[in-house]
Amino acid sequence: MEKRVIRSSSNLEEALEDEVEPFWYTVLHSKNKTDELIQTNPWNQAPSELEKTAYLADDCVITIRPARFSLEKGGAGDYEKDRYFLEISNQDSSTIFSTHRVYSWDEVNRLAFFFKGLSFTAATRVWKGKKL
């Protein structure tokens, strides 16, 4: 399934005068749902003059997920506090890989760097090669 974004733009001269970006993006999280669309420039509230649908490439999505947990449902827990899982997925999250161990903030960011800019196919090869 493809992941879509809407690239919107407002009046260029007005944006330059206000010293803000004249364009912005809205990631659509639901299929065929445009009610998430932001109709005004988020920085100066100027109305959108143009909206264009764009389709994201299937690049690797990197998620750093907190690992803190409790042993009781709804309980306050500090097990694995300040520790994180690394996850990678394709754009529509239909395929997700999660690490089998947790890492410190610095460690998980170092690992995430290996996946920066990769297609999901290439990221899958790196993931398997690193045995995460």
Q: Which residues pair with 50 in a beta bridge?
A: 9
- Nearest 5°: the CA angle 33, 34, 35 is 100
Query: 125 and 79 in one domain?
Result: yes
Which strands make up the sheet holding 23-27, listed edge to edge?
Answer: 23-27, 4-9, 50-55
- Token pair belonging to 122: 């290439």
* CB-CB neighbours of 129 under 10 Å: 9
Query: 73 and 28 in one domain?
Result: no
Model pLDDT for residues 10-43, shown as the tens digit of each residue: 999 999 999 999 999 998 877 656 565 778 999 9
Instruction: Look up the domain containing 99 and give its range.
Output: 61-130
Query: 125 and 68 in one domain?
Result: yes
Model pLDDT for residues 114-123, shown as the tens digit of each residue: 999 999 999 9
Model pLDDT for residues 54-101, shown as the tens digit of each residue: 999 999 999 999 999 988 887 777 899 999 999 999 998 999 999 999
pTM value is 0.80
For 16-46, the DSSP string reads: HHHTS-SEEEEE--STT--TT---B-TTT-P
Please state the separation of Cα 105 from the chain's center in Å: 18
Query: 86 and 44 in one domain?
Result: no
Please give the pLDDT value at position 76: 74
pLDDT above 80: residue 52: yes
Query: 79 and 93 in one domain?
Result: yes
Query: 87 and 31 in one domain?
Result: no
- Cα separation values, 131 from 2, 92, 116, Å: 28, 23, 17
Split into its structural domains, the chain has a count of: 2
Please give the pLDDT value at position 103: 98
